[in-house]
A = this chain, B = another copy of it.
Amino acid sequence: MKGYILKDMTWPEIEEALKTAKVAVVPIGAQEQHGRHLAEGCDSYRAEAFCALLAEKSYPHVVVAPTVNYGISPHHMDFPGTISLRPETLMAILEDVVSSLKQHGMKKFLFVNGHGANSSAIAVASEKLAREYDVEVAHTKFVDAAKGVIQEHIHSEHFGHACEREISESLYMAPHIVRKDLVEKSDMNTDTFAYKYMNNDFVKVVHQFKDTTHNGNLGDGRQGSFELGEKIIQTALDNLSTFIEDFAR
């Protein structure tokens, strides 16, 4: 692969890369339960792999910072192994990344988020950092860049976590985290107040994930496939690399 991955480069190599790279991409994941069929690093693995592909596709305009391996996951704490950052912690990490890379001349940042529950904190941080450090900041939950594909192929009522979408992406980008023999449908907890409002479009109710599902996953993982993962990821790559060309200008 030819993309610029800062973790894998020496300082003279980075010095050279910074002559053409205009956008720093920061992959942000999570350590969080993903049902019985996906390893807990799922969001980190997907964000990291996606950014590597993006770096390749947008070469030589992008550098990728090291992956933030933790995210905001208090709603999953009832399942063993989940580790949750406070929002302040995640915002502090992003601030330090921006502050440091700005010292090396970088002025444009794209936070690439692999975990939905990170979004609000990333949005708050982006607004703050862009102004405090006088840089341009954009952020994306990267699968949002493949909404058309997703709407066409996924038909579960509730999906978006440890579902056919995430299994497909994982099969395409990080197959070792899929427990293929254990892939299953979600076992929703439909009697709860949390369940009733989990997808409400005008009011958000703070809840624990165990109040909406017993096994920790949404959707129907059995509908996932390498091919669907490929479609999602390639579409998202197309859209985000197009954005980057525009942003890098």
Contacts and interface: CB of A to CB of B under 8 A. Distances in A.
Contacts of A14: 40, 80-81
Interface stretch (A54-62, A84-92, A153-161, A226-234): A84-92
B131 A74 contact: yes
Contacts of A31: 6-7, 65-66
B81 A97 contact: no
A215 to B, nearest CB: 9
A67 B44 CA distance: 11
Interface residues of A, number: 95
A138 B205 contact: yes
B85 A93 contact: yes
Interface string A129-149: 011000011111110110100
Contact of A126 (B89, B119, B177, B206): B206
A103 B77 contact: yes
A207 to B, nearest CB: 8
A216 interface: yes
Contacts of A203: 110, 138-140, 144-145, 240, 243
A199 interface: no
A120 to B, nearest CB: 4
Contacts of A101: 83
Contact of A35 (B11, B95, B179, B243): B11
A203 B140 CA distance: 5
A69 interface: yes
Interface string A36-55: 11111100110000000000
Given A96-B86, A206-B126, A79 B11 contact: yes
21 contacts: A6-B40, A7-B45, A9-B39, A10-B33, A10-B37, A11-B33, A41-B66, A44-B66, A67-B69, A68-B69, A83-B100, A83-B101, A85-B92, A86-B96, A89-B96, A127-B206, A131-B206, A139-B203, A197-B243, A203-B243, A205-B247
Interface of A: 6-12, 14-15, 18, 31, 33-41, 44-45, 65-70, 72, 74-75, 77, 79-89, 92-93, 95-97, 100-101, 103-104, 110, 117, 119-121, 123-124, 126-128, 130-131, 136-142, 144-145, 147, 176-177, 179, 182, 193, 196-197, 200-206, 216, 236, 239-240, 243, 246-247
